Structures are given as structure tokens and as C-alpha cells.
């Protein structure tokens, strides 16, 4: 019965349908159903006499493009909204709210960067450390995230510095997304460009 439910959730995730849940130990609405897909993808199978787990595991590779698109679209928007709410309330003397929005923004960025690098995010804990090993990420991502929360303070100028760093991280992540959308250069076009450049150079040196 449990495996049937897990199988349904995994199939939904691989089709790009993810659902937020409240779960103890996870920040509100940041426990997502795609965690199941991630756990299946990395699990160590001890007993699987009917190959049901192995069958689910095989579905998780390669990383589904539709899931990647849905996660990125949803969480980059949520990251920006959370940043905007933190900035809008910086003068309200409610540091816990600002800090909460900063965390939500960073957690959303984590989801985006995992999806961009086609990796499953199975837990918020340690996510920035794993991102440090990814190819596509803002420079010194983990260090800068830590600096954000180190700077959050009742001192307005310090909190503004924190939000500036967060805004930079959001902007840099969006730049990675924009670059990823560019179509790859076709081989024929590549050689045509080389041919044209060669002709121009030969005319120049004559």
C-alpha cells in the first residue's frame, strides 16, 4: 500500500506535478513531493524481490526535463517574491519576518540550482554545501548565503547589506537560467562562422 502511494507520487513528480506539504522538521510549505523522487534515485536497495524499487529507481534517470522546467519556473518566482517581501518590511522592526523571507528565498534558490544542475534535492539541510560542488552556481554561493544570515540584525544598515547579497544571488541565478535557455550552436553554423572569419582575415592581410 505504501509502495503504491510512493509510486504514484514519483510518477506525478516525473510528469512535473509537485505538491507542497506541511511536515514537522521542515519549514512550512518547503517539503515538496519531489523529495520522494530524489530519495528513490539515491536509495540503496537492500531487499526488492519483485524489483519494484529498482523499477522506480530506473524511472528517475535521466533527470526529467519537464520536472526541471516546473521546479525552476515555480521557485525562481518564489525566491524573488520572498526577497521583495523582506525588502518591503525591513523598516517594520520585525526581524524574524525578514529573516523568514530570506530563508524562504534562499531555500527556493537552492531548489532552482538543484534542478538547473539536474540533481534531486532530497533535504534542505546541507543543500548549500552540495550546491558548492555543482557546475552551474553563483560564485562562493555557500559562503555568501552564510554571510546573509550573519548580517541580519536589528541594525538596518547591516540587514540591508544582507538583502543586497541575496539580491545579487537571485540575479546571478537568473543569469544562469537565461544562459541555459540559449540553443546550442549547430556544427554547420560553427564551421560557417570560421569560414567567414577566415575569408575576412585573408582579405585583411593581402
DSSP 8-48: HHHHHHHTT---EE--TTS-TT-EETHHHHHHHHH---S--
Asked whether residue 92 falls in the same domain as residue 13, the answer is no
Task: Report DSSP state, residue 107.
Answer: H
Cβ burial 143-163 (10 Å sphere, 16+ → b, else e):
ebbeebeebbeeeeeebebbb
Asked whether residue 118 falls in the same domain as residue 201, the answer is yes
Asked whether residue 184 falls in the same domain as residue 199, the answer is yes
pLDDT of 193 > 80? The answer is no
Q: Quickly state the pLDDT bin for 1 (edges 50, 70, 90).
A: low
> Grid cell 544570515 — which residue?
149
pLDDT of 185 > 70? The answer is no
pLDDT of 134 > 90? The answer is yes
The pLDDT mean for the chain works out to: 88
pTM score of the predicted model: 0.85
pLDDT on residue 160: 97
Q: How many CA atoms lie within 13 A of 27 on its CB side?
A: 14
pLDDT on residue 94: 94
Asked whether residue 86 falls in the same domain as residue 48, the answer is no
Dihedral, CA atoms, 41, 46, 48, 53, nearest 10 degrees? -10
pLDDT digits (tens, 9 = 90+) for 105-129: 999 999 999 999 999 999 889 999 9
Asked whether residue 92 falls in the same domain as residue 154, the answer is yes
Asked whether residue 32 falls in the same domain as residue 87, the answer is no
Asked whether residue 14 falls in the same domain as residue 33, the answer is yes
pLDDT of 201 > 50? The answer is no
Which residue, among 78, 6, 16, has the nearest Cα to 43 in the 3D structure? 6
Give CA–CA dist 59/51, Å, rounded: 13
Q: Quickly state the pLDDT bin for 197 (edges 50, 70, 90).
A: low
Asked whether residue 126 falls in the same domain as residue 183, the answer is yes
Which residue, among 40, 67, 42, 36, has the nearest Cα to 52 in the 3D structure? 40
Asked whether residue 110 falls in the same domain as residue 8, the answer is no
Say which range, 29-33, 106-110, 179-183, has the weakest mean pLDDT: 29-33
pLDDT on residue 190: 43
Asked whether residue 97 falls in the same domain as residue 188, the answer is yes
- Domain ranges, residue 17: 1-61
Asked whether residue 57 falls in the same domain as residue 83, the answer is no
Asked whether residue 74 falls in the same domain as residue 126, the answer is yes
Amino acid at each position: 500500500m505504501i509502495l503504491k502511494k510512493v509510486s504514484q507520487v514519483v510518477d506525478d513528480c516525473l510528469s512535473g506535478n509537485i505538491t507542497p506539504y506541511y511536515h514537522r522538521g521542515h519549514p512550512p510549505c518547503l517539503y515538496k513531493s519531489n523529495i520522494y523522487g530524489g530519495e528513490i534515485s539515491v536509495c540503496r536497495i537492500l531487499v526488492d524481490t519483485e524489483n519494484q524499487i529498482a523499477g522506480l529507481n530506473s524511472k528517475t534517470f535521466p533527470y526529467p526535463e519537464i520536472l526541471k522546467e516546473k521546479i525552476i519556473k515555480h521557485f525562481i518566482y518564489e525566491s524573488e517574491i520572498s526577497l521583495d517581501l523582506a525588502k518591503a518590511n525591513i523598516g517594520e522592526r520585525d526581524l524574524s519576518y525578514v529573516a523568514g523571507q530570506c530563508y524562504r528565498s534562499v531555500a527556493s534558490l537552492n531548489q532552482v540550482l538543484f534542478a538547473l544542475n539536474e540533481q534531486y534535492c532530497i533535504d534542505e539541510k546541507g543543500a548549500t554545501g552540495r550546491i558548492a560542488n555543482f557546475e552551474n552556481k553563483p560564485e562562493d554561493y555557500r559562503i555568501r548565503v552564510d554571510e546573509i544570515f550573519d548580517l541580519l540584525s536589528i541594525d538596518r544598515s547591516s540587514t540591508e547589506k544582507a538583502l543586497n547579497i541575496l539580491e545579487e544571488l537571485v540575479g546571478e541565478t537568473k543569469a544562469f537560467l537565461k544562459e541555459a535557455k540559449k540553443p546550442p550552436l549547430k556544427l554547420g553554423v560553427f564551421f560557417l562562422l570560421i569560414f567567414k572569419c577566415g575569408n575576412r582575415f585573408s582579405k585583411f592581410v593581402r
